[in-house]
């Protein structure tokens, strides 16, 4: 039986592990968070995914029961007799600075337990040249083995959208390159166990940079419409109508503005690029500008909400504000870099009393309301930053709970504006 190890069991690593398990491949999942490993052993996870009508926790339980997925916090046990290793460890950005410590520690731990003829396939999103200049020397130094002779190192970008992970791990075209011809061959074979759509590139850095520019290009495109929304709001013009009209041009495809850009993929992509370009003295003015626009977006939205209250003769100080969803995007349980959380903190800083209800986000949050109706009750403002399928967005059912003159800020345009206005609410959207 094929056996692989996946290091890092978060929003990428866990569904990737279980995708291999669904193909009959034994996976040893390694994560240094002992509490989380215990949760996984009990069939529980904070990751939200669905596939073929099954929740990820059902797939997890089935994979545990049939012995095709085994979680552990030990590199020594996890890599004991494994020669195909996939790395999905995240690289955080703290106070605007890329922190490679966790990734580097993972490379050292791999090196300590690496077997001859093993393949290490990195699928984390990384700054350019990480595979060649960081992973390779660290593994070689700790293991005493030589890449291209005693073991093989390759990089393949992760391109999934959360919520579609199982499907896209198997269908999304994926690029790969090793540091050697044999490394590329071995990595391609490992990827083809679950996905036939493999693109070979000439070097790992080609794949590293292509991954980053895929996400950075979306950052730029989102920044354009977020900046457009500031203009249309200032002129009291319907943003979405402007976009619909502009998109009738055959060569124009504007995206939809929002309250910010969440997750690790898009917000971090440019910053991983800057990690290298700052070192070599290369300016990237367009990417810096786009990131600035999108980073500022929650503050722009907070200003709109404060102005809406002011127009009603109310103060944002002590205003009761409820968030209907706090995850970083629609139908997600991930709060990574969530613009809703950023907006929440800005409003709290202005003196507002802020709570939220999110049916998917797990964890102990002091501001979480127990249910949807409790969230609505007595609020001055309801903010809809994302959409969850479980939530009832029929405004007629809200009237018994919300204040009669409440402000509704609907970033997703899901509420019927005419109905909301007829009920006495003050409706705002992007």
Does the annotation mark 348 as catalytic? no
Does the annotation mark 403 as catalytic? no
Which among 26, 136, 265, 379 is annotated as catalytic? 265
Q: Among residues 385, 327, 375, which one has the least CA distance to residue 354?
A: 375
Q: Among residues 19, 60, 10, 59, which one has the least CA distance to residue 191?
A: 19
Which among 26, 188, 211, 329 is annotated as catalytic? 211
Q: Please name the residues in contact with 172: beta carbons below 8 A apart, sequence gap of 6 or more.
A: 159, 160, 195, 197
Half-sphere exposure of 236 (CA within 13 A, CB side): 1
Active centre residues (catalytic): 211, 265
């Amino acid at each position: 039986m094929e056996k692989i190890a996946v290091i890092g069991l978060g929003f990428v690593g866990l569904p990737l592990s279980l995708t291999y398990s669904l193909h009959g491949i034994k996976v040893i999942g390694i994560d240094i968070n002992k509490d989380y490993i215990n949760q996984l052993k009990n069939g529980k996870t904070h990751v939200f995914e669905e596939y073929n009508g099954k929740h990820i926790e059902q797939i997890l339980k089935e994979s545990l029961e049939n012995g095709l997925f085994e979680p552990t916090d030990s590199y020594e046990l996890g890599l004991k007799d494994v020669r195909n290793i996939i790395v999905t460890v995240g690289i955080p950005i703290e106070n605007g600075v890329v922190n490679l410590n966790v990734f580097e520690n993972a490379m050292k731990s791999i090196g300590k337990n690496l077997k001859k003829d093993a393949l290490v396939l990195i699928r984390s999103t990384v700054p350019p040249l990480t595979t060649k200049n960081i992973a390779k020397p660290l593994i070689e130094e700790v293991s005493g083995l030589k890449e291209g002779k005693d073991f093989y190192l390759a990089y393949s970008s992760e391109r999934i959208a959360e919520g579609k992970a199982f499907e896209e791990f198997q269908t999304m075209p994926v690029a790969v390159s090793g540091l050697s011809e044999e490394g590329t061959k071995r990595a391609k074979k490992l990827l083809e166990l679950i996905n036939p759509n493999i693109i070979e590139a000439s070097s790992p850095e080609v794949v590293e940079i292509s991954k980053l520019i895929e996400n950075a290009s979306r950052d730029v495109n989102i920044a354009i419409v977020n900046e457009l929304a500031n203009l249309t709001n200032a002129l009291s013009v319907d943003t979405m109508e402007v976009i619909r009209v502009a998109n009738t041009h055959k060569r124009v495809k504007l995206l939809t503005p929002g309250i910010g850009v969440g997750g690790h993929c898009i917000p971090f992509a440019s910053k991983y690029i800057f990690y290298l370009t700052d070192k070599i003295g290369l300016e990237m003015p367009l990417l810096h500008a786009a990131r600035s626009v999108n980073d500022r977006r929650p503050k722009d939205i907070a200003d709109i909400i404060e102005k809406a209250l002011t127009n009603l003769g109310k103060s944002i100080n002590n205003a009761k504000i409820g968030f209907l969803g706090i995850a970083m995007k629609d139908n997600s349980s991930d709060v990574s870099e969530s613009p809703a959380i950023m907006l929440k903190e800005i409003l709290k800083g202005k003196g507002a009393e802020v709570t939220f209800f999110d049916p998917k986000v797990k964890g102990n949050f002091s501001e979480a309301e127990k249910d949807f109706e409790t969230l609505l009750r007595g609020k001055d403002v309801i903010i809809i930053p994302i959409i969850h399928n479980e939530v009832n967005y029929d405004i007629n059912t809200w009237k018994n709970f919300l204040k009669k003159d409440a402000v509704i800020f609907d970033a997703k345009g899901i509420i019927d504006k005419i109905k909301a206005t007829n009920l006495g609410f003050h409706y705002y959207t992007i």
